[in-house]
Amino acid sequence: MTIQNSLQRSSPESQGLSSAAVLAFVAAVEQNLVDMHSFMLMRHGQVVAEGWWGPYAAERPHMLFSLSKSFTSTAVGMAVAEGRLSVDDPVLSFFPEEAPARVSKNLAAMRVRHLLSMSTGHAKDATPGARTQKEGNWARGFLAQAVRHAPGTHFIYNSAATYMLSAIVQKLTGMTLLDYLGPRLFEPLGIIDPTWESCPRGINVGGWGLSIKTEDIARFGQMYLQQGVWNGQRLLPAEWVAEASARQVSNGSKPESDWEQGYGYQFWRCRHGAYRGDGAFGQYCVVMPEQDAVLAITSGLGEMQAPLNLVWQHLLPTMGPQPLPADGAAQAQLAQKLAALALPPLSGVPVPPTAARVQGQCFDLAANRQGVQSITFDFFAQGCSFAMANAQGTATVNAGYGVWQPGNAFFPGLGMQRCVASAAWTAPDTLLLSQRFIETPFEYKLTCQFGRSRVTLAPTLNVSFGPTKLPVLRGKLA
């Protein structure tokens, strides 16, 4: 990364924020939130605090889920600035060959701005219907669905609408979002090696699927805070930043909810005059114009209002207009705390005789939805390994006792992923395995209970779009 693109660091006090307030925020996170992975706080263009809870690390990308939407919106803003389209263009004008045989009045009235503001007029999320289109043609699947309301009158969160924005950009430019944003956004911001999931037809999915680092999220937010300018170069028109971050449509009326303050162009309005992009399980880019601050967060959380509440409670009120007197003791305490952040590996009882009894043993599993056919256990001085076989082959996970063991493992729907694993005996007949997929929000735990010649495996996830408690697997010695 070039020196020109390196972010400047300074103490919280020099930017009008106390180190004690940041310490209070971190303490509240650790007390109230189970699975924060990282945060980076910027004020007046300077990084004043940053931390990663090991085994998560600064150099690792993290899945953004729907925070990807804000980057898709940015691509549309750039294409508008280049004169390639207008937000008032009809959606159907880009996909005449994908239009249904009968075009409803509401579908004909749908404009690009309605895709941007999640006000397409659908009565429900169009994403499942688009993704299951039998030819893998998501655009055709989107346009085939009934548009019950007049566009612009009804908010419904709709990731397929964001996909359509991606498809429009690719149709107009001949480039995927990733390639289009490369020289226009990622390279100027110093974002290296971003990746983005694609649909069966090679179009970046837009509404999710982008993976970048925590600092990259902060850079993106700072560019928005600076009205589209980065290092003296205008990347995005100020008018687009204003439109995208403004309330374009109402999405509720609860004053205490940060999900009911209005929605812009793939950005949520927040309380306290802030706005944000966010993604499932706690991925945030929070822009606070009144405080001249940006906060980037990655996590694996099931409840997404809680982190924002802690931000408003501990950080926002202490951001003053003037620098504060230096506080060496608090700064040293904060630095020590941030350097030691960690999600600990598993701990348990001493290794029991059960380990020797099942050493090298293969258990055949009864038929199950996960498709796991067998599991073999091996134990060694510093940990153990699990070899799980299915129709595609065998994947082996090495797990450390009292430490995170790095490796790779298969995660359903995502394929092979970088992970770390830890194991511990929690009772003489019970072994617990934890796998943290360190570039995602997910942690997979497997509780293995051994009988004389049988094993029961109880898998759970920390977060999921479905159940977090998965069906129990049962096996017997081969």
Per-residue pLDDT of the chain (478 residues; tens, 9 = 90+): 554 578 999 999 999 999 999 999 999 999 999 899 999 999 999 999 999 999 999 999 999 999 999 999 999 999 999 999 999 999 999 999 999 999 999 999 999 999 999 999 999 999 999 999 999 999 999 999 999 999 999 999 999 999 999 999 999 999 999 999 999 999 999 999 999 999 999 999 999 999 999 999 999 999 999 999 999 999 999 999 999 999 999 999 999 999 999 999 999 999 999 999 999 999 999 999 999 999 999 999 999 999 999 999 999 999 999 999 999 999 999 999 999 999 999 999 999 999 999 999 999 999 998 889 999 999 998 999 999 998 888 989 999 999 999 999 888 889 889 999 999 999 999 999 999 999 999 999 999 999 999 999 999 999 999 999 999 999 999 8
C-alpha 165 chain-centroid distance: 20
Non-local CB neighbours of 241 within 8 Å, separated by 6+ positions: 77, 224, 227, 228
How far is Cα 414 from Cα 276, in angstroms, rounded to an integer?
26
CA–CA separation, 456 and 38 (whole Å): 35
Contact 368, 471 (CB under 8 A): yes
CATH superfamily of 354-477: Calycin beta-barrel core domain (2.40.128.20)
What is the per-residue pLDDT for 370?
Answer: 85
Residues of the chain within CATH 3.40.710.10 domain(s) are 3-60+213-339
Report the pLDDT value the prediction gives residue 236, as an integer from 0 to 100.
Answer: 98
Angle at 114 between CA 142 and CA 306, to 5 degrees: 95
All residues at 6 or more sequence positions from 279 whose CB lies less than 8 Å from its CB, including other chains: 63, 64, 65, 66, 67, 68, 208
Rounded to two decimals, the pTM is: 0.96
- Cβ proximity of 217 and 287 under 8 Å: no
In whole angstroms, how far apart are CA 418 and each of 280, 414, 437, 446? 20, 11, 6, 18
Closest by CA to 277, choosing from 355, 221, 341, is 221
CATH architecture of the domain with range 3-60+213-339: 3-Layer(aba) Sandwich (3.40)
pLDDT of residue 413: 85
Question: What was the pLDDT predicted at 116?
Answer: 98
CA distance 48 to 293: 10
DSSP state of 184: I
Residues of the chain with CATH 2.40.128.20: 354-477
Bridge partner residues of 38 (DSSP): 52, 298
What is the structure's pLDDT at 393?
87
pLDDT at 3: 45
3-class DSSP assignment, residue 65: helix
Ranges assigned E (strand) in 61-145: 62-63
Report the pLDDT value the prediction gives residue 237, as an integer from 0 to 100. Answer: 98
